[in-house]
Chain A
Amino acid sequence: MLWRFRREVIFIVEIFLSVMIVRYHSVKIVGVENSPKEETRIINYKELIAENTRLKEILDIRKDNPFLKKTIIGQVVSIKPMVFPAEIVVNKGIDNGVKENMAVLSKDMFLIGRITKVDKDSASVMTVFNTKSKISVIIDSTREIGVLEGGSIPLLTLRYIPSSSYVKKGDRVLTSGYSDFYPKGIEVGEITKIEKSPDTLFLKIYVKPFSCTSGLEEVLIGE
């Protein structure tokens, strides 16, 4: 009887195991990495030195960062999808003072996204590439305010900039400070393409984000 349904049995058992792994991983991300019991780990010294250098750079940036009152350094533990990530998980959570809607910045102080879900020792970040991401931004040169929408890759869409605007390619886009989530003045990206249509009141502008394209290892979380 059981032999007849062997495929179903294998399928159900493995699905159960996979779900357990997903749950364990989402809850215990830090526990696995920082477990004090784990004494016999192989240490990759080169990687440790590189990490140390990166963290030092972040600490230097943190000292004189003009945007955030409080900052927490987090490490990226998961990225989904692998390129142009829409969601990342960092190894800092409630225990480290992370709260929902805190801004997340790269080590070069470019905007990555904001915290959407916090667990005890991990947090999910919705990046600028996420289809749900809508950021109030200001164009540095013209001081016009628009909404930067995610969901399209590799460029983001900037909406509600009037057709009469003098915006040009290469202009920088910063957070406007009018939303509850992001402090004013964080660099988000630069304008790479402007489309003008006679039928609409607004321009269609494409923005290339400065962060999130590659090399996401450490991030700054703050408010």
Chain B
Amino acid sequence: MNRRFILLGEQFLVIMGLQVFFLNYFRSPVAPSFFLIWLLILVWEDNIELALFMAFITGIIYDLISKGFYGMTGIIFLVIVYINCFLKIKGMAGRIAGIFIFSIMYFLMGLFKYPEGFLWNGWTLFKYSLLFASYNSLVGFFIECGKRRLRLRWKAKRDYLSI
């Protein structure tokens, strides 16, 4: 139990560092959401309860670091994680597509205000949601590649030790 939670804690710190760095120094109108990608991967790896819990925490942290409306990002993260509880996405292509689709959903939900509607107009929303989703998919791709490499190394190590 302890090892798993330490690993998750480490992941969380790395993700938070990356998120803060990209929000402050990334020269683009939109920055990738590392929190969203991490939560999606957590839920797809069957850590559903933990992902739900972390959705709330990361939402609050995201609002704190981005000077947003406290609690709003948490609600969006929770909805997305809850939807993904029912989707078991395996395989790299499926996961990247999933990240792309849910990034668009996250972006649109973030810019929606009841009852006024979207805060930006249609074309701008479309353009920037695509940009945001592309950044996130790219980050997702690198994470998946990294995971595969790590798994292969661990497998090789285990095989070597079992000889």
Q: Which residues of A contact B (CB under 8 A)?
A: 6-7, 10-11, 14-15, 17-22, 25-26, 76-84, 86-87, 89, 129-132, 150-154
Q: How long is the Cα–Cα vector from A81 to B66 in the complex, in angstroms?
A: 9
Q: Which residues of B contact A (CB under 8 A)?
A: 23, 29-30, 48-49, 52-53, 55-56, 59-60, 66-72, 74-75, 78, 82, 85, 110-111, 113, 116-121, 123-124, 128
Q: Summarize A's interface: helix, strand, loop or mixed.
A: mixed
Which chain A residues border B78 with CB–CB below 8 Å?
Answer: 11, 14-15, 18
Which chain B residues border A132 with CB–CB below 8 Å?
Answer: 116
Q: How long is the Cα–Cα vector from A22 to B69 in the complex, in angstroms?
A: 7
Which chain A residues border B67 with CB–CB below 8 Å?
Answer: 76-79, 82
Q: How long is the Cα–Cα vector from A129 to B111 in the complex, in angstroms?
A: 12
**Given A7-B48, A22-B70, A25-B70: A86 touches B53 (CB 8 Å cut-off):** no
Which chain B residues border A154 with CB–CB below 8 Å?
Answer: 29
Write the nearest CB–CB distance from B88 to chain A, whole angstroms: 14
The one of B52, B56, B71 that contacts A22, using a Cβ cutoff of 8 Å: B71
Can you name 7 extra interface pairs (CB under 8 A) apart from A20-B71, A25-B70, A76-B67? A14-B52, A17-B56, A21-B71, A78-B69, A79-B67, A80-B111, A151-B124
Q: How long is the Cα–Cα vector from A86 to B124 in the complex, in angstroms?
A: 12
Q: How long is the Cα–Cα vector from A82 to B20 in the complex, in angstroms?
A: 13
A-B contact pairs, 10 of them (CB 8 A): A14-B53, A19-B75, A78-B70, A79-B68, A82-B66, A82-B68, A129-B119, A150-B121, A151-B120, A151-B124
B123 near A21 with CB under 8 A, answer no
Q: How long is the Cα–Cα vector from A81 to B30 in the complex, in angstroms?
A: 10
The one of A17, A20, A22, A131 that contacts B119, using a Cβ cutoff of 8 Å: A131
